[in-house]
Amino acid sequence: MRQKIVAGNWKMNKTLEEASILTSELMGMVADEVKGNVKVVLCTPFPYLYPIKQQLGGNARISVGAQNCSEHDSGAYTGETSVGMLKSMGIPYVIIGHSERRQYFGEDGKLLATKVDKALAQGLTPIFCCGEPLEIREKGTHEQLVKQQVEESLFHLSAEALQKVVIAYEPVWAIGTGKTATSQQAQDMHSVIRKHLASKYGAIAENISILYGGSVKADNAKELFSCADVDGGLVGGASLKSREFVEIIKGIS
Ligand code: 13P
């Protein structure tokens, strides 16, 4: 059985107070309304990771994740945050290779492979993102590109290490645009990713959670999550509102 996960990527939003209010609303709603075995991850901005983790206490359902990490262990890298620092705060997840990092910060597959290694070495679960921009989808080479992204940053891993990775497929044209992939488009690509993993790693590909991201909302979550190879979601804008986010989580539980 693959782990079902719904992660909220808050990106660069909210004050500390707003973050704390959202968290407390979510704690109540998830406890009261969410059934089934789904993990909820709140990927907060770096400064809020520790206070939100403290606020969550030992919450069995909800945990926190970072949105990025440095590829370096420590040293003179002003403004960066290492995986060791995340580990020292007890942060279990880290998003690696979000398309906004690839696009605005020039992160490439080789760099992301290093970040994945650093996360795994410290026992964090990487949520590794892949996904094609619009022009690639229009050219029809999206499967090729996404397979390449997965290969470049994950195929150096041992089978044992790969099993600790979560993958998020986020077509860039669906992020923040309100234009969601259809459930068929999502399923097709998730299946391509899983088969590609299977071509190298065999049956363990069946154990890897592959999340969908890109304009997931309360009214489309259930359909997307019902696809055979979609194991949850990575949610941006809609994770900033407690009611909407909980309705999304309920779409899989
Ligand atoms: P939206 O849900 O706002 O489209 O963002 C998706 C995303 O980038 C999650 O990482």
Instruction: List the residue whose alpha carbon is closest to atom 5 of ligand 1.
Output: 236
Helices (H), the chain: 16-33, 46-56, 83-88, 99-105, 109-121, 134-139, 142-154, 159-162, 183-201, 218-225, 242-250
65 within ligand 1 shell (Cβ under 6 A)? no
Q: Which residues, at least 6 apart from 73, have a Cβ–Cβ distance to it below 8 Å? A: 82, 83, 84, 118
Regarding pTM above 0.95, the answer is: yes
Per annotation, catalytic residue among 71, 98, 142, 244? 98
The count of residues in the chain is 253
Number of other CB atoms surrounding residue 96 within 10 Å = 30
pLDDT at res. 180: 86
Specify the pLDDT at position 15. 98
C-alpha pair distances (Å), 111 with each of 37, 52, 66, 154: 33, 29, 17, 11
For the chain, the structural domain boundaries read: 4-250
**pLDDT given at position 105:** 97
**Which is the catalytic residue, given 71, 132, 170, 244?**
170
Ligand 1 in reach of 28 Cβ (< 6 A):
no
Centre of ligand 1 from the C-alpha of residue 176, in Å = 6
Q: Is 170 assigned a catalytic role?
A: yes
* pLDDT, position 177: 86
Say how many Å lie between the CA of residue 9 and the centre of ligand 1. Answer: 7
Q: Which parts of the chain register pLDDT below 70?
A: none
Q: Are 249 and 40 in contact (CB under 8 A)?
A: yes
> What is the per-residue pLDDT for 36?
86
Q: Is 171 in the pocket of ligand 1 (CB under 6 A)?
A: no
**Ligand 1 in reach of 214 Cβ (< 6 A):** yes
DSSP assignment of 102-140 equals HHHH---HHHHHHHHHHHHHTT-EEEEEE---HHHHHHT
Q: Is 8 in the pocket of ligand 1 (CB under 6 A)?
A: no
CATH class of 4-250: alpha beta
Q: Is 107 a catalytic residue?
A: no
